[in-house]
Amino acid sequence: MASLQMNSPIGRNALDDAGTDAIVGKPLDRVDGRLKVSGGARYAFETQQANTAYGFVVEASIGKGKIRSIDSRAAQKAPGVVLVLTHLNAPEQGTGNHREAHPVLTGPDVTRYGQPVAFVVADSFEQARAAAYLIRIDYDQAPGKYALRDGLKQARIPEQADAPAADSAVGDFKAGYESAPVQLDVTYTTPLQSHAMMEPHATLAMWQGDRLTLHTANQMLNQGREAIAKTLKLPGENVRLVSPFIGGGFGGKLWVNADAILAAIAARQLGRPVKTALTRQQIFHVTTHRSDTIQQIRLGADADGRLLAIGHDVFSGNLPTEQTYEGAALQTRTLYAGANRLTRHRLAPLDIPVASSMRAPGEAVGLMALECAMDELADKLNIDPIELRIRNEPAEDPEKHVPYSSRHLVACLREGAQRFGWQNRNARPGQVRDGRWLVGMGVAAATRGNPLRHSKANVRLGPDGVAIVRMAMTDIGTGTYTILAQIAAEMLGLPMERVRVELGDTSFPEAAGSGGSFGAASSGSALYEACDALREKLAGIAGMDPATARFADGSIASGEQSTRLTDLVGAGVDADGEIIPGRTSKDFSQQSYGAHFAEVGVDEDTGEVRVRRMLGVFTAGRVLNAKTARSQAIGGMVFGVGAALHEEMTLDPRFGYYVNHDLAEYHVPVHADIPAIDAIFLAELDDKSNPLKSKGIGDLGICGAAASVANAVYNACGARIRNYPITLDKLLAKLPAEA
């Protein structure tokens, strides 16, 4: 086992030596691409098991109150029905916040609209669904608080154990702001959002005695196993999660959802496998969402645009029993210089479904406010928005007072400006026309924290010359299979087709999973260490010095001597690797960076907004695969266009439910909304981050993207819309009169 704790920077290592033949970094096609387009990749709901029964979730149709009675007699007599689970016959379960446990059907209390109140199981999904509509439930309704704006008075300081402190103060914000020659005080709002991933949440649950196997769509299998074990009161080792393919998650599958627990309970009671999937409509209420936010930004600057005071206050909402808050002011603690700083988060208790992580929790909506406020300040000062950002580039992290591990925001801004043709932008809004379109350009900075998490990996080289990589990592569509294969191929001197990566099973070594932009770095580093250990073993068998041995073309060589690896491994040789976060994450401020450039057209009469061009320039350490990295970045930028212009769950404040709970009315960008988008990564190695010298990119693309679009809308037509999304009804009244 090669175990590395990241306590000091990484020196020159095997990946640095690969040179121009390097496999890591190449824009290779996905190794699982053919399986996916040919239907060979089995997702949770597609897993087949004999004698499977199917479950359908029944949702509460009130926002808050109590179940007075449930009449399930008709459902029980309906064709094919084998079980109706309600709180009257569900087992006692372990409890905790939504990250720790997911108890279901625990009693008559209804805490939110869409809470599962029954689970109907039948021989077919259609029978279960038909029977579900026969269940009659009477409720005693209680008054609920649903809209964020109605919960502000009760908002409290959140105490989320695994998140930074809700408040941070440096210097004297009040004095710095009040004495600043130029002041900006603006409030932005962002709406409730839903992950809208492609694959619905689904689970197949099977028991063998008191051992449970779940084929389930889940981003973090080891964490999921713990939560399921806690909920079902089982030892962790009795629970196995299998999730080799996941059709997107964006955070919506980070935690265990009702599908997994309901299927497990029903399968145990019935003594047969139970499968279930949420319908598209159910996903909106039954699973998590991103809270809406109210964000006040106060910037104080001198006449040259140097920030003297930065204030960012954020309200978000969650169930009274949850502490998870939308950390929208967190990046404001590190992005720009300034002596006097105040950032605060408040959490309003609301009686709506659990709010949790959605792609770039914190930055995604925080930068929608901060990076527009910077644009407003630039406008007020008559300074170019890129220049304003450059003038506020910090020499060290302004709150932690430690150096940045690496930071090239200015290079991203400059490179992007040149490539995008920023010099052609007219700083005065409403001046550029193309027929009936008012045309404008906008810029925004991108930044995202770069976390590392504990992970393990195993790699085995067999007598057939094929290396098999195993870990309980997931690939949610990002390209994890591919980059792990590249790392193993590089390290062991094998062609890509001689590496097989097996993921998505808790019987493999524990891994971080996919989330928070920590997936590739954490799993890839564990694999790097495993390969390093295997190299050492192989060199030992070959009688060579591991420090000078070269691995290429399926051979190990040292000096004149060269041996085929297949001649060394006998029945097979394997090694384990492990990465453990350490001091470099405290001694250095670690973020990835970028700059977004957008050009939009605003219809002079209707206010219709069309994105015309977009460019993202990023730095995120070593790029592990230029193609999948670019796809990730572009996907994030598309997500940003949606956040700026389309996405919004509309809450009915009387009843606490989302009116537009389907993809017909919850608008995400479609092809017609997305023009040519390009994303590039500037060369960078971050030796403080991990052995790969990479940084996370899963979230970076969305960070700041929406703000660049909003700033372009302002530049196009002079209308500053501070409540997202920027829909044409909000623009209409503000369009230039002469247009």
Query: How near is the Cβ of 253 to ligand MOS at its closest, in Å?
Result: 8
For residue 314, how many other CB atoms are within 10 A of its CB?
29
Which ranges in 16-124 belong to alpha helices (H)? 33-37, 73-77
For residue 518, how many other CB atoms are within 10 A of its CB?
24
Range in contact with ligand MOS (rule: CB under 6 A) among 32-40, 86-94, 232-240, 351-359: 351-359
Distance, CA of 26 to CA of 625 (rounded, Å):
5
| 116 forms part of the interface with ligand MOS (CB under 6 A) | no
Name the closest residue to ligand MOS (Cβ).
251
Q: 91, 69, 63, 87: which is closest to 135 by C-alpha?
A: 69
Per CB under 6 A, the list member of 358, 489, 579, 600 interacting with ligand MOS is 358
Q: How many residues of this chain interact with ligand MOS, rule: CB under 6 A?
A: 11
Query: How near is the Cβ of 706 to ligand MOS at its closest, in Å?
Result: 16
Identity at 94, one-letter amino acid code: G
**Phi then psi dihedrals of residue 265, to 5 deg:** -65, -45
Q: Judged by CB, which is closer to ligand MOS: 219, or 450?
A: 219
- Enumerate residues 428-447 that contact ligand MOS by CB under 6 A: none
Query: How near is the Cβ of 134 to ligand MOS at its closest, in Å?
Result: 37
Range in contact with ligand MOS (rule: CB under 6 A) among 246-254, 529-537, 667-675, 681-689: 246-254
Q: Judged by CB, which is closer to ligand MOS: 115, or 223?
A: 223
| 250 forms part of the interface with ligand MOS (CB under 6 A) | yes
Q: Judged by CB, which is closer to ligand MOS: 115, or 517?
A: 517
- Enumerate residues 516-575 that contact ligand MOS by CB under 6 A: 516
Range in contact with ligand MOS (rule: CB under 6 A) among 39-47, 248-256, 407-415, 550-558: 248-256
Q: Judged by CB, which is closer to ligand MOS: 340, or 592?
A: 592
Per CB under 6 A, the list member of 240, 345, 359, 498 interacting with ligand MOS is 359
Query: How near is the Cβ of 504 to ligand MOS at its closest, in Å?
Result: 16
Q: Which residues pair with 551 in a beta bridge?
A: 556
| 701 forms part of the interface with ligand MOS (CB under 6 A) | no
**β-strands 573-580, 433-434 pairing:** unpaired
Q: Judged by CB, which is closer to ligand MOS: 254, or 623?
A: 254
- What tokens were used for 1? 């086992």
Distance, CA of 582 to CA of 439 (rounded, Å):
48
Contact letters for ligand MOS, residues 283-302 (x by CB under 6 A): --------------------
Distance between start and end Cα atoms, the chain: 69
Query: How near is the Cβ of 224 to ligand MOS at its closest, in Å?
Result: 13
| 254 forms part of the interface with ligand MOS (CB under 6 A) | yes
Identity at 45, one-letter amino acid code: F
Range in contact with ligand MOS (rule: CB under 6 A) among 92-100, 346-354, 358-366, 528-536: 358-366
Range in contact with ligand MOS (rule: CB under 6 A) among 64-72, 207-215, 243-251, 403-411: 243-251
Distance, CA of 340 to CA of 567 (rounded, Å):
65
| 251 forms part of the interface with ligand MOS (CB under 6 A) | yes
Range in contact with ligand MOS (rule: CB under 6 A) among 249-257, 467-475, 672-680, 681-689: 249-257
Q: Judged by CB, which is closer to ligand MOS: 305, or 327?
A: 327
Q: Judged by CB, which is closer to ligand MOS: 145, or 359?
A: 359
- Enumerate residues 467-526 that contact ligand MOS by CB under 6 A: 515-516
| 357 forms part of the interface with ligand MOS (CB under 6 A) | yes
Residue 733, classified by CB atoms within 10 Å of its CB into exposed (0-12), middle (13-18) or buried (19+), is exposed
Query: How near is the Cβ of 182 to ligand MOS at its closest, in Å?
Result: 36
Query: How near is the Cβ of 515 to ligand MOS at its closest, in Å?
Result: 3
Per CB under 6 A, the list member of 247, 361, 398, 718 interacting with ligand MOS is 361
Distance, CA of 708 to CA of 638 (rounded, Å):
12
Per CB under 6 A, the list member of 160, 193, 219, 631 interacting with ligand MOS is 219
User: Which residue's entry shows tokens 């169930």?
Assistant: 319
Query: How near is the Cβ of 364 to ligand MOS at its closest, in Å?
Result: 9
- What tokens were used for 233? 């009161």
Decide: 42 and 245 in contact? Cβ < 8 Å. yes
CA atoms within 13 A on the CB side of 447: 26
Contacts of 266 (CB under 8 A, 6+ apart): 53, 55, 83, 85, 119, 121, 205, 274
Distances from the Cα of 158 to the Cα of 161, 323, 346, 444, angstroms:
9, 5, 6, 29
Q: Judged by CB, which is closer to ligand MOS: 52, or 218?
A: 218
Measured at the CA of 27, the angle between CA 31 and CA 594, to 5 degrees, comes to: 120
Residue 270, classified by CB atoms within 10 Å of its CB into exposed (0-12), middle (13-18) or buried (19+), is middle
Query: How near is the Cβ of 512 to ligand MOS at its closest, in Å?
Result: 11
The reply to whether omega before 725 is within 30° of 0 (cis) is yes
158, 159, 162, 163 alpha-carbon torsion, rounded to 10°: 40
Q: 508, 528, 680, 675: which is closest to 598 by C-alpha?
A: 675
User: Which residue's entry shows tokens 């990946």?
Assistant: 15
Q: Judged by CB, which is closer to ligand MOS: 59, or 647?
A: 647
Query: How near is the Cβ of 290 to ligand MOS at its closest, in Å?
Result: 9
Distance, CA of 243 to CA of 202 (rounded, Å):
11
Residue 20, classified by CB atoms within 10 Å of its CB into exposed (0-12), middle (13-18) or buried (19+), is exposed
Strand residue runs (E) in 51-149: 53-59, 65-71, 81-85, 109-110, 116-122, 136-141
Query: Reduced to 3 states, what is the DSSP secondary structure of residue 45?
Result: helix
| 257 forms part of the interface with ligand MOS (CB under 6 A) | no
Query: How near is the Cβ of 513 to ligand MOS at its closest, in Å?
Result: 9
Q: Judged by CB, which is closer to ligand MOS: 242, or 254?
A: 254
Query: How near is the Cβ of 698 to ligand MOS at its closest, in Å?
Result: 7
Range in contact with ligand MOS (rule: CB under 6 A) among 245-253, 306-314, 572-580, 645-653: 245-253
Q: Judged by CB, which is closer to ligand MOS: 356, or 458?
A: 356
Distance, CA of 66 to CA of 249 (rounded, Å):
32
| 176 forms part of the interface with ligand MOS (CB under 6 A) | no
Which residues make up the interface to ligand MOS (CB under 6 A)?
219, 249-251, 254, 357-359, 361, 515-516
